[in-house]
Chains A and B, each alone.
Chain A
Amino acid sequence: MAALTREETEALIQEVLEVYPEKARKDRAKHIMVNDVSLESSKKCITSNRKSLPGVMTMRGCAYAGSKGVVWGPIKDMISISHGPIGCGQYARGGRRNYYVGTTGIDSFCEINFTSDFQEKDIVFGGDKKLAKLISEIEMLFPLNKGISIQSECPVGLIGDDIEAVAKKAAVEIGKPVVPVRCEGFRGVSQSLGHHIANDSVRDWILSNRDGQAFEKTPYDVAILGDYNIGGDAWASRILLEEMGLRVVAQWSGDGTLAEMENTPNVKLNLLHCYRSMNYISRHMEEKYGIPWMEYNFFGPTKIAESLRAIAAHFDDHIKEGAERVIAKYTPLMNEVIAKYKPRLQGKKVMLYVGGLRPRHVVGAYEDLGMEVVGTGYEFAHNDDYDRTIKEMGDATLIYDDATGHELDEFVKAMKPDLIGSGIKEKYVFHKMGVPFRQLHSWDYSGPYHGYDGFAIFARDMDLTLNNPCWGLLKAPWSKAAQEEQKLVA
């Protein structure tokens, strides 16, 4: 059951959009819909992957963020150079909490900001020489790196530097892959195109490096794609797959390595967690190497069991039994977690506004805890994401694409959710409004949330946030008194 009826939700959308000038209102109206689970396709109801309106406050990132921040950055033994002015890389450094095993600065490099630090003269005379020098310096200072990627920032595209030529020359000199990535921030309408560009560069420069080389295969080889190991997510997923008898050859790209990526064409099945950021490379591998891929969801026991069975269905009885064994092993544990937290969370309403997969993937986890998601939306989804979301969400719930600051504020005020799950840009606004808030990008310095172990942490975190006594102290005494009075009257 939704909190509001269909008519009420529609009226709410109209009311919220009222403040915009007419043209903006028309445009934004296309990005917001009231869910109708009977729909097969979202196209008639919601528009997505369009340029944000000037003047509204969008939460989107840029293509560089999608490539460097999301796809390339977490590969631990490669060095990603933020090519251009220093700010883009510096302000995004380590923000996603992609955990990895390794010694930073020796054999792992995710947390260090490598940048060509463009100055005026580099813009005027070009930065290619500087880039070549930077690469040889990196090679001297960090000899254990396995390869280098060059992530272009806006100015590099504007001045027309030839980073491909520099990369080719440098690759020969250092004898390692050097990958030029044309992910200038201005490309595309959001970070989404950055994911695509990053996938394409992996395809062109990395994926086929070991074609034809010997590889000891097993019939149970899989790769995890689109898991960035935020707070250890990929580890919590990997152990489940291994417990059921599969061999995880590669993790893309959280705690991943270059060798793993190069070996991926040998797997039997690609497991795709974040569809939005890695479906491109999965499609390519399906066409070129005949490797099937499937989306899975490791949030919450219901979805995990569903996914484990769906994964096992691609293999023989040995794996199918393995899946059942894993599910049976963790079910008592999960029942305990639910028994403990469900009474404290039951019936609470949640609103989400996140990125690639979470607006639909975490719905099941909240439902396992007896909570209800009343509104959800993506920063940079495409229509096929909404097609899937429609099925996950309840009827007459609210769905918003590329929501603006104003819209989110107003929706929250009207729908009064008990918890909001979104990112750091939204966090403090809602804290100040006195609404319990959890970051669902970086798990608010906690995690993992994937897998069975992750669900236990997820449930605890939601309880800690929602039932925290501090929320009661946020109201000024006089507004509290007014409320009490109202209650008495009622």
Chain B
Amino acid sequence: MANIMIRRNDKGYVFYMPKRDIEDSILSMEFDTPEKWGGEIRLGNGGVYFIEPQAAPARLPISVRAKRLDGVE
């Protein structure tokens, strides 16, 4: 488990992991509705992480815990 920060830019969600200074675009997010948000996220660098599905945050950026499922680093 690691802390990550999710923010939004003009292209969509952006992933950032402070511990390892990894910044990447989020290509897909499993759940993206106001009630259910998170799940499996896929990054531009091939990494796959999992965020416990939760209600969509009222404001971005937000720091959440995420688990690495697959991919580099």
Binding site for B on A (CB under 8 A): 40-41, 43, 49, 192-193, 196, 280, 283, 286-287, 290, 382-384
Contact = CB atoms under 8 A, between A and B. Distances in A.
Nearest to B59: A290
13 contacts: A40-B44, A41-B45, A43-B44, A193-B21, A283-B5, A283-B7, A283-B16, A283-B61, A287-B5, A290-B59, A382-B21, A383-B23, A384-B23
Given A43-B44, A283-B16, A290-B59, A192 B7 contact: no
A31 B38 CA distance: 34
Interface in B23-45: 23-25, 44-45
B61 A196 contact: no
A382 B61 contact: no
A283 B16 CA distance: 10
Nearest to B45: A43
Chief secondary structure at chain A's binding surface:
helix
Contacts of A43: 44-45
A290 B18 CA distance: 18
Nearest to B21: A382
A196 B21 contact: yes
Nearest to A49: B21
A41 B14 CA distance: 14
A392 B4 CA distance: 29
Given A41-B44, A43-B44, A43-B45, A287 B62 contact: yes
B23 A286 contact: no
B54 interface: no
Closest 9 CB pairs of A and B: A384-B23, A287-B61, A43-B45, A286-B61, A41-B44, A382-B21, A283-B5, A287-B63, A196-B21
A43 B7 CA distance: 21
Nearest to A279: B23
Given A287-B5, A287-B63, 16 more contacts: A41-B44, A41-B45, A43-B44, A43-B45, A49-B21, A196-B18, A196-B21, A283-B61, A286-B7, A287-B7, A287-B61, A290-B59, A382-B21, A382-B23, A383-B45, A384-B24
B20 to A, nearest CB: 9
Contacts of B25: 41
A193 B20 CA distance: 9
Interface in B1-21: 5, 7, 16, 18, 21
A226 to B, nearest CB: 16
Nearest to B62: A287
